[in-house]
Amino acid sequence: MLADALLLQLGYNATLVTIGACLLGIAAGVAGTFLFLRKRALVSDAISHATLPGVGLAFILMVGMGGDGRSLLGLLVGAGISAAIGLLCVHWLTTRTRLGEDAAIGAVLSVFFGFGIVILTIIQTMNAGRQAGLEGFLLGSTAGMLRGDAILLAVSAALVLVLVLILRRPLELAAFDPGYAQATGWSMGRIDLAMMGIVLVVTVVGLKVVGLILIVALLIVPAVTARFWTERAGHVVIIAGAVGGVSGYVGAAMSAIAPALPTGPIVVLVGFAMFLVSLLLSPGRGVLASVLMHWRYQRRVHMRQGLLALAQGQPIFETLTHRLLRRAGLILPDGVPTSEGQAAAAKALLDETRWSIVRADQSFAAAATRYDGLTAIETVLTPDQLNEVDARIKAPEVVA
């Protein structure tokens, strides 16, 4: 059954929803990258919670105009207006009062969400309109979507993605070097406004799929996941888009075969699974890579200390250092150094003597900052500098 859903074999409407959720995930991952890089992830949380009053008020308005209140376009327009008002409130509180952005976000988030819950409660007591299913905007639900709704979702997500790609350059400049962006003529206020506008649209479009409570996860989790795999901003954007797309596609497909489960949590859990894999297995920043790096560093420290001990005639007992030196063929089982071990120990002692001279001479101040006991001095000093250091060493037998 899951294979049929992933291969888009569950019907035309399910196919549209899955593709639309995939496009939404790509757009959210790409847009959320700039929020993440600008360290403004919580702004998306305020925007998402501020949509709830708009959904409720749009429903009441459409019912008052003689409709059933279930037009997705009308509900999304209401959500967008309400979210824009919430975003303006955050901006006003941040710029016109002494409140920090986090406090302003907390105030707007709680007030708007509380107001929205009150409106939804009032809606449930109304005799007109079709109230059933409005709670799907909290956690996301695609089970009752019509073909027109799915097309609206897919087209909106695609347009958002195009807008993000067009504005990628100024958004990257604002994220990494605001000073340079301003110096080259970009207005930081307008860039931030554009970024918030993109996030607002993604949030509103994603309400039906992920829900207002979890849309922030679809915006931020892909970007955080992508950051584990690369150091380049352009690559982060691409990987985040891919992670968001896979999350939306697989989550919507799984929701299609289990309509009783809310869509949003499934999409977020798929994204979290990808985040967890990245956290554990990414080559540069993952937990496993960090553990291996620490283990290798410990081995290098033990080897270095062991060689210095051999050079000074100190005994090497049955320890990790002993095992490492023996595996490298530098000592015998009884701790006596081999010929290779003697040469390596002499070289380690020579390098330590060289480093002591470099660290004591102000003319080598820049090179001295590279000393960590493990870095080869030949990679820090030029041949002429190395010859100068060796000339200061009194013992002629160790002069290179």
Can you give the pLDDT at residue 271? 93
Comparing CA positions, the residue from 395, 304, 390, 301 lying closest to residue 344 is 304
Q: Which amino acid is at 49?
A: H
Query: With bands split at pLDDT 50, 70 and 90, how would you rate the model's confidence at 276?
Result: very high
Between CA 110 and CA 396 the distance in angstroms is 77
Where does residue 64 rank: exposed (0-12), middle (13-18), buried (19+ CB within 10 A)?
Answer: exposed
Comparing CA positions, the residue from 307, 321, 301 lying closest to residue 350 is 307
Can you give the pLDDT at residue 398? 44
Which pLDDT tens digit goes with each residue over 180-214? 777 877 887 788 888 888 888 888 888 877 888 78
Got the DSSP string for 345-396?
A: HHHHHHHHHHHHHHHH-GGGHHHHTT-SSSS-GGGTS-HHHHHHHHHH-S-G
Mean pLDDT of 44-54: 88
Better-predicted residue by pLDDT, 334 or 4: 334
Can you give the pLDDT at residue 224? 93
Asked if residues 57 and 74 have their Cβ atoms less than 8 Å apart, the reply is no
Enumerate the domain spans of the chain. Answer: 2-279, 288-398
Positive or negative: CA dihedral 276, 237, 223, 55: negative
Cα–Cα–Cα angle for 190, 199, 136, nearest 5°?
Answer: 155
Class of domain 2-279: mainly alpha
Can you give the pLDDT at residue 336? 86
Whole-prediction pTM value? 0.79
Mean pLDDT of 292-300: 91
Place of tokens 């002499």: 346
Mean pLDDT of 109-131: 83
The contacts of residue 105 (CB under 8 Å, 6+ apart) are 42, 43, 45, 46, 90
> From the DSSP assignment, how many helices (H) and strands (E) are in the chain?
19, 0
Comparing CA positions, the residue from 126, 175, 367, 141 lying closest to residue 264 is 141
Q: φ and ψ at 231, to 5 degrees? A: -105, -5
Positive or negative: CA dihedral 293, 299, 303, 309: positive
CB atoms < 10 A from the CB of 324, how many? Answer: 18
Asked if residues 181 and 188 have their Cβ atoms less than 8 Å apart, the reply is yes
Asked if residues 252 and 142 have their Cβ atoms less than 8 Å apart, the reply is yes
Query: With bands split at pLDDT 50, 70 and 90, how would you rate the model's confidence at 133?
Result: low
Query: With bands split at pLDDT 50, 70 and 90, how would you rate the model's confidence at 143?
Result: low
Asked if residues 198 and 40 have their Cβ atoms less than 8 Å apart, the reply is no
Better-predicted residue by pLDDT, 58 or 141: 58
Better-predicted residue by pLDDT, 397 or 149: 149
Which pLDDT tens digit goes with each residue over 213-271? 788 888 999 999 999 998 888 889 899 999 999 998 998 888 888 777 777 888 899 99
Can you give the pLDDT at residue 132? 59
Query: With bands split at pLDDT 50, 70 and 90, how would you rate the model's confidence at 145?
Result: low
Asked if residues 203 and 16 have their Cβ atoms less than 8 Å apart, the reply is no
Mean pLDDT of 93-118: 88
Can you give the pLDDT at residue 128? 67
Which pLDDT tens digit goes with each residue over 168-185? 888 888 877 777 777 877
User: Average per-residue pLDDT in the chain?
Assistant: 84
